[in-house]
Amino acid sequence: MKCPFCGRDDDKVIDSRGSNDAAAIRRRRECQACGRRYTTYERVEEVPLRVVKKDGSRVAFDRQKILSGLLKACEKRPVAMAALEDAVGRIERQCTENFDREVKSTFIGELVMKELRELDQVAYVRFASVYRQFRDVSQFLEELRPMLETRNEKREEKREEDADRPRRF
């Protein structure tokens, strides 16, 4: 394996373990030349999944593109890199489980939005505003309405719980 830092191919495996979804083996490596450490993943090579874009063109499925989009949406947000990598793994797994050869980009976009909705609402809104191509504020508010309603319902439930608790003085 070539070191991403110095380019030499003299490394040793320090740690090796299966990933959470058992679809890959995660290996921690140390370059013998420069001493730096890096992580690699070993996966079973399958028939490559193709993404059908909105214009009808087809491109290879690339998990890095999904991770890049998540990183942009979560920029300056308190979301751990591990959480983003897990989300990409779930998205990739759903695509490969539901489709043999081709998956529509809109399906992937909806999965990304679903993951972001759970991870960070601000990141979700950032991604949705670009993905849905909002043209005005009313479209933006329409996307936010379900989140605000859920938030208000949770507040109301908490108030009811607090009202039912005996008070200490």
pLDDT number for residue 91: 97
pLDDT tens-place values along the chain, 169 residues long: 899 999 999 999 999 998 777 788 999 999 999 999 999 989 877 678 999 999 999 999 999 999 999 999 999 999 999 999 999 999 999 998 999 899 999 999 999 999 999 999 899 888 988 887 777 777 777 877 887 787 777 777 777 776 676 666 5
- The amino acid at residue 108 is I
Q: Report d(CA 163, CA 144) in Å as an integer.
A: 29
List the structure tokens of 41: 């993943």
pLDDT number for residue 146: 80
pLDDT number for residue 167: 65
Q: Model-level pTM?
A: 0.61
Question: What residue ranges do the domains of the chain occupy?
Answer: 8-45, 47-131
CA 111 to centroid of chain Cα atoms:
9
Name, in order, each residue with C-beta under 8 angstroms of 86's C-beta and a sequence gap of 6 or more.
20
- The amino acid at residue 74 is C
The edge-to-edge listing of strands for the beta sheet with 24-31 is 11-18, 24-31, 37-43
- Three-class SS of residue 44? coil
Q: Report d(CA 9, CA 169) in Å as an integer.
A: 69
